[in-house]
Amino acid sequence: MRATVLVRPKAGILDPQGEAVESSLRQLGFPVDEARVGRVIDLDVQATSAEEARGEIERMCERLLANPLIESYEIEVGE
Amino acid sequence: MSEVTPRIAVLVFPGSNDDRDAAWALTALGADVRLVWHADQELPLVDAVVLPGGFSYGDYLRCGAIARFSPAMKAVTAFAGEGGLVLGICNGFQILCEAGLLPGVLRPNASLEFVCADVPVRVERADTPFTTRCEPGQELVIPVKHGEGCYHAPEDLGDDQVVFRYARGANPNGSERDIAGVVNADGHVLGLMPHPEHAVDPLLGPGDGALVLASLVDAARERLYARA
């Protein structure tokens, strides 16, 4: 089952990459107030249902894919 | 009677690049060093463990995030769980944070630039096994070289766990509260971004790192006496 995990720096966490992207976009003339840079992880998971896949991926996030001190995550399970 | 020689393990991960320097420095300061490959399930009988600098597993995902799950890290976690002395330098510090053996996490430098410089670092606590040869408040000059050394502290991190701070105005990476090194609550696991192993031989620059590593060798020797 295909799934995507979006990992983002939590609000309030310094994100120098996001700041660099934001300032570059401004220099290019785009009307940007803020940019935050996270990470996308595409997965193909062995699971018989979307719920099962979601549960497994949550455990993956807690153990490895995200550091809960600084990052939040969002899981999208496909068809 | 000559002093006994404590044994110190230096872990080697794929991508470690300061393991040999750490081994050289610890040997020069009187330790018997054993290099331990990351895939080893067990540690040899040692009195302390050092996690060296480098880019373990290519620093993929987050620095230290993959190394923490290596077999040897399981053994290090068990060793630390029994009160064993563990020192993590740079990437070793990052691994200890990811493994939950130390609080906080290291993030990309605020400047987004790799820094390589000798920096002044203040000793905040001289009563840890890693700093007994230092004076409280003493300023050491030790090199840093890292791209991800910006320490983010958990909100409840007490000042009593801060062992090293960058001197005022010399914070090279944007670390919160100028923190350069922290110790666990029980005081036997330390991580720091500066590289004491690169500041041991005065021929190559400042020699202040020897104070840190020699403190560890002293503490390891005490552990050896205790188990003898």
pLDDT in tens, A35-45: 999 999 999 99
Q: For the whole model, what pTM was predicted?
A: 0.93
Band of pLDDT at residue B48, cut at 50, 70 and 90:
very high
Share of chain B above pLDDT 90, in %: 94
pLDDT at B203 over 70: yes
Nearest C-alpha of chain A: how many angstroms from B210?
33
ipTM surpasses 0.90: no
Across the interface, which of A20, A65, A70 has its CB nearest the CB of B105?
A70
pLDDT at A30 over 50: yes
Average pLDDT over residues B45-50: 98
Contact list, A13 vs chain B (CB under 8 Å):
107, 152
Query: Which residue among B63, B90, B97, B150 is the active-site one?
Result: B90
pLDDT at B1 over 70: no
pLDDT at B219 over 70: yes
Question: Does any CB of chain B come closer than 8 Å to the CB of residue A20?
Answer: yes
Q: Could you confirm whether B113 is annotated as catalytic?
A: no
Beta strands B162-166 and B189-192: pairing type? unpaired
Structural class in CATH, domain B7-227: alpha beta
Average pLDDT over residues B14-39: 97
Q: Write down all domains in chain A, each with its CATH number in brackets.
A: 2-77 (3.30.1280.10)
Q: Could you confirm whether B42 is annotated as catalytic?
A: no
User: What are the backbone angles phi and psi of residue B164, rounded to the nearest 5°?
Assistant: -130, 140
Contact list, A20 vs chain B (CB under 8 Å):
112
What is residue B52's predicted lDDT score, i.e. its pLDDT?
98
Mean of all residue pLDDT scores within chain B: 96
Question: Does any CB of chain B come closer than 8 Å to the CB of residue A23?
Answer: no
Q: How many CB atoms lie within 10 A of CB B146?
A: 24
Quote the CA–CA distance of B140 and B194 in Å, as a whole number: 10
DSSP assignment of A1-55: -EEEEEEEEPTTS--HHHHHHHHHHHHTT---S-----EEEEEE---SSHHHHHH
Question: Does any CB of chain A come closer than 8 Å to the CB of residue B207?
Answer: no
